Amino acid sequence: MYLDGVHNRSSPLPIQIGTVAEMRDLYRAAEARAARMRLLTVSGQELADADPTNIAERLARSADRLAFFLGSRDAQVIEGDGAEGIAIVAPGPARKPVARFCVDGIASLDAIEDIEDRDAVAMHLELLGATIDRIQRERERGALLATLREREQRLEHMVGRMFSAQEEERRRVSQELHDGVAQTATALARILEGVGEGQTEALPAAERDRLAGIARALVRELRAVIGGLRPTLLDDLGLQAALRSLADGLEEDGYQVSFCMADDASRLSPTVEIALFRVAQEAIANVRKHAGGPCAVAIALRIETGHLRLQIRDSGRGPSDRLDAGAGARPTGRHVGIDVMHERMSAIGGHLEWSAGADGGVTVTAHLPESA
């Protein structure tokens, strides 16, 4: 009985030992799966926040984490398609190699015996490949944008220098006309008016008066040309006075001009004042060419929230080939003056809008942001 009792008590032991072993195996498998999940989760979160400034650090930590998972002490992620290590490829059908994962004792995924470990490492390498590819694309876009910004700045600088040289040439020609041809024409007018002596005394009075009138008209035309080349009001009194002079010239020719200037518009930089004046000058010249005669013209210079706005609007006939388009439209063809206005505003960091009304009239608006 005793032996039977012992036997009876000990007979279930093989079953109990087998159950514990299975539980241990299940526990180890669960731990392994949890380790794989932690590996992918932590690395995935870390790599998702990677950017060009910290990518090297994130790759190094991910490599160390993967090495520890594989039972190694050290590993590296080397960007580029090297000869050694496990290939890390970019996502997509091309499977372009972007880096290599180098760890001691493992030359390929096939060297990892456990299938689930192998799959986890493969997924980790895919995360690395997607991150490296994304950062490379960001770097390429950043380099491209930097190149475009540099070229844009160089173009603006070149256009600005071109306009500055043009204004300097206008100043020189204006001074030469004033000091040379205009003075000579003035002297001629005085002589013909009888101020001087010489052959004019032999001319009949009517002929002398006619010639004197021609000389005076020549002086007026020369002064108008000089003023158009480089108005002294722009240098001496600023943009508002120069715009007022343009408005006065229109009124003298019969146009009904409304003139509105901002109360707080102080002197701007010479470059800005020149650009805005040339825009107004070209817009008013177009009014004279295309309006079909005297009409209502509105000139306004306003400082609004965040930017300055200059607008010249007329109610005339408008150009014969105007576009049926809204603000911002640019007529094509022979409208070189409008293109120049656009370029002048772009050179100082602003932009220009040109629009022709369906019933006639043209509106030209130059915008200059406060930052410019």
Class (C level, CATH) for 10-140: alpha beta
pLDDT tens-digit map of 27-73: 777 888 888 899 899 999 999 999 999 999 999 999 999 989 888 88
pLDDT at 311: 94
Q: Which of 295, 298, 260, 301 is nearest to 277 (CA)?
A: 301
pLDDT at 370: 78
The secondary element (H helix, E strand) that includes residue 79 is strand 75-79
The secondary element (H helix, E strand) that includes residue 333 is none
**Topology alike, domains 10-140 and 232-372:** no
pLDDT tens-digit map of 269-313: 888 888 898 899 889 988 988 888 899 999 999 887 778 899 999
Whole-angstrom CA distances from 16 to 25, 27, 29, 69, 187 are: 14, 16, 20, 33, 130
pLDDT at 158: 72
Domain boundaries, the chain: 10-140, 232-372
Query: How far is C-alpha 79 from the geometric centre of its chain's CA atoms?
Result: 33
pLDDT band at 326 (very low <50, low <70, confident <90, very high): very low
Q: Are 309 and 270 in contact (CB under 8 A)?
A: no
pLDDT tens-digit map of 159-200: 667 666 666 666 666 666 666 666 777 777 676 666 445 554
pLDDT band at 104 (very low <50, low <70, confident <90, very high): confident
Q: How far, in Å, CA of 292 to CA of 340, rounded?
A: 23
Instruction: Please state, rounded to an integer, the average pLDDT across all residues of the chain.
Output: 79
CATH superfamily label, 232-372: Histidine kinase-like ATPase, C-terminal domain (3.30.565.10)
pLDDT band at 135 (very low <50, low <70, confident <90, very high): very high
